[in-house]
Structure 1
Amino acid sequence: MIRPLNATVAGCAAIIGYLMATGTLVTGAVILFLVVFLVTGAGNAINDYFDVEIDRINRPDRPIPSGAASAKGVFVYSSILFIAGITLSLLTNPFCIAIAVANSLLLIWYAASLKRTPGAGNAAISYLTASIFLFGGAYAGPEGLLVVTPLALITFFAMLAREIWKDAEDLEGDRAQGADTLPIRIGVPPAIRLGFVFLAGAIFASLVPVIWWGLYYLAGIATVDILIMWVGVKALGCKTASCLKKSQVTTFVKYAMFVSLAVFAVSAVLL
Structure 2
Amino acid sequence: MSVSSSLQPRRYPDPAALLRLIKPVTWFPPVWAYLCGVVASSASPLSAWPLVILGMILAGPVVCGMSQAANDWCDRHVDAINEPDRPIPSGRVPGRWGLWVALAMSVLALGLGSALGPWGFGATCLGVIAAWAYSAEPVRLKRSGVWGPGLVGLSYETLPWFTGAAVLSAGAPSPQVILIALLYGIGAHGIMTLNDFKALEGDRQTGVNSLPVTLGPERAARVACIVMTLPQLAVIAALALWDLPVHAAAIASLLVGQAWAMRVMLRDPRAKAPWYNGTGVLFYVSGMMIAAVALRGL
Specify every segment of 5 or more residues in structure 2 that has no aligned partner in the other structure, as ranges: 1-20
1:62 alignment counterpart: 86
> Does residue 134 of structure 1 match 2:162?
yes
Match of 2:268 in 1: 242
* Counterpart residue number, 1:84: 108
Unmatched 5+ stretches in structure 1: none
How is 1:1-271 mapped onto 2 (pairs within 5 angstroms)?
Answer: 1-7=21-27, 10-11=30-31, 13-22=33-42, 24-25=44-45, 26-29=48-51, 30-36=53-59, 37-112=61-136, 113-130=140-157, 131-139=159-167, 140-144=169-173, 146=175, 148-164=177-193, 180-186=209-215, 188-189=218-219, 192-193=222-223, 195-196=225-226, 199-209=229-239, 214-215=243-244, 218-228=245-255, 231=258, 242=268, 253-267=280-294
Greater Cα offset, 260-269 or 93-102: 260-269
Does the 8 Å CA contact 1:235/1:244 hold for their aligned counterparts? no
Contact 1:17 1:136 in 2 (8 A): yes
For 2:189 and 2:26, locate their aligned partners in 1 and report how far apart those are by CA, in whole Å.
Answer: 19
User: Does the residue aligned with 1:88 lie in a helix, a strand or coil?
Assistant: helix
Distance 1:66 1:102 in 2: 31
Q: Which moved more, 1:75-84 or 1:154-163?
A: 154-163
Instruction: Report how far residue 66 of structure 1 moved.
Output: 2.9
Shift of 1:184: 3.9
- Aligned residue type for 1:35: L
What CA distance in whole angstroms lies between the structure 2 residues aligned with 1:18 and 1:253?
A: 24
Q: Distance in 1 between matches of 2:86 and 2:260?
A: 39
TM-superposed deviation, 1:162: 3.0
2:12 is matched with none
Determine if contact 1:164/1:182 at 8 Å carries over to the other structure: yes
Mapped partners of 1:228, 1:128: distance in 2: 23
Aligned alpha-carbon RMSD (Å)? 3.6
CA gap 1:138/1:61 in 2 versus in 1, 3 angstroms: same
Percent identity for Structure 1 against Structure 2: 18
The DSSP-based 3-state class of the residue aligned with 2:44 is: coil
Measured after TM superposition, the shift of residue 110 of structure 1 is 0.9
Contact 1:96 1:135 in 2 (8 A): yes
Whether the 8 Å CA contact 1:165–1:195 is kept in 2: the answer is no
CA distance in 2, matches of 1:66, 1:184: 25
Relative to structure 1, the CA distance from residue 162 to residue 4 in structure 2 (aligned partners, 3 Å threshold; closer, same or farther) is closer
Aligned to 1:90, the other structure's residue is in SS state: helix
Shift of 1:270: 6.6
Q: CA deviation at 1:135?
A: 1.5
* CA deviations over 1:216-268 (Å, ceiling 9, x no partner): xx213323224426745985999x77368669766554132132134135446
CA separation of 1:44 and 1:175: change in aligned 2, threshold 3 A: closer
Rounded Cα–Cα distance in structure 1 between residues aligned with 2:108 and 2:94: 21
> Higher mean Cα deviation, 75-84 or 199-208?
199-208
Relative to the length of structure 2, the TM-score reads 0.72
User: For residues 128 and 197 of structure 1, do their structure 2 counterparts lie closer, same or farther at Cα, with a shift above 3 Å needed?
Assistant: closer
Q: Count matched residues.
A: 266
Deviation of 1:101 after TM superposition, in Å, equals: 0.7
Normalising by the residue count of structure 1, what TM-score does the alignment of the two structures yield? 0.78
